Amino acid sequence: MKNFIWITGASSGIGRELVKMFYRIGYNVFATARRYEKLETLKSEVKKDGDENQLVIAYCDVADTKSIDNCLENFYAETGGYITCLINNAGITSFKKAMDDSWENVMGIINTNLMAPVYMIRKVLPGMIEREKGTVINLLSVAAKKTFTRSSIYAASKSALLTYTNVLREEYREHNIGVLNVFPGATETEIWDPKVIERNNGKMMSAEDVARAIVLIYDSRGTAFPEELILRPISGDL
């Protein structure tokens, strides 16, 4: 059976760069996102005839548990493999003051950024425990460590996932389960308005650089494994 790295939110940004890097250094990758056509484009860019490792793509709306269930069922049926690393990368935000956000947006952010990762961890963790090895990597945010205005629900969702997985790490250390919480600062991805990116040209990290740091840590996993990784632009927070 082949082991796979499952990367959510893989159609753009950090997720897309993670897929490219992990695949190109020989890992089997399971890439999921809502924008399936972008996954097809990504696969056509990196997959080459004769590659021994696999790149499996699938539609998945992480805010919908049925979509997650169907996605995993199809993955297991197609590959016969298992998930040895889950990278919770999919996420959404809203740059509004706390009372300016609609309740629909509030619940959408909580479901996507918190409830979905918790649900997916619960789906793959039993297999990791059975094999006595596994890794969970959460793409959080410096907003979980530092107070920023217009990010209350986003920060709350990331902080809650941080606390949940810190506890989970302690509960399952004996099964060789590693949990890495990554706290990126401002990164040039689609989560930002293009005008903000243009205004802060050169002051944001690239998705490629953030992904590279994560890949290097995972690829060098041994008896020592970092539990937190804070990444900020050299010029500091925006």
- Which tokens belong to 145? 């460590």
Q: What is the pLDDT of residue 186?
A: 93
Q: What is the pLDDT of residue 148?
A: 93
Using CA atoms, how far residue 95 sits from 74, 152, 198, 218, 231, in Å, is 36, 9, 17, 31, 21
- Residue 235 included in any domain: no
pLDDT 10s digits, 109-129 = 999 999 999 999 999 999 999
- Residue 237 included in any domain: no
In this prediction, residue 180 has a pLDDT band, given cuts at 50, 70 and 90, of: very high
Exposed, middle or buried, 64 (CB in 10 Å: 0-12/13-18/19+)?
A: middle
Q: Which phi-psi region, left, alpha or beta, contains residue 46 (left: φ > 0; alpha: ψ -120 to 50)?
A: alpha
* Contact in structure between 111 and 153 (CB atoms under 8 Å): no
Q: Which phi-psi region, left, alpha or beta, contains residue 26 (left: φ > 0; alpha: ψ -120 to 50)?
A: left
Q: Which domain holds residue 217?
A: 3-230
- Residue 49 included in any domain: yes
- Which tokens belong to 126? 């039993």
Our count of domains for the chain comes to: 1
CATH number, domain of 186, equals 3.40.50.720
Q: What is the pLDDT of residue 238?
A: 86
In this prediction, residue 150 has a pLDDT band, given cuts at 50, 70 and 90, of: very high
pTM: 0.95
Mean pLDDT of 138-156: 96
In this prediction, residue 190 has a pLDDT band, given cuts at 50, 70 and 90, of: confident
Using CA atoms, how far residue 191 sits from 2, 28, 92, 129, in Å, is 33, 27, 7, 34
* Contact in structure between 55 and 31 (CB atoms under 8 Å): yes
Q: What is the pLDDT of the chain when averaged over all its residues?
A: 95
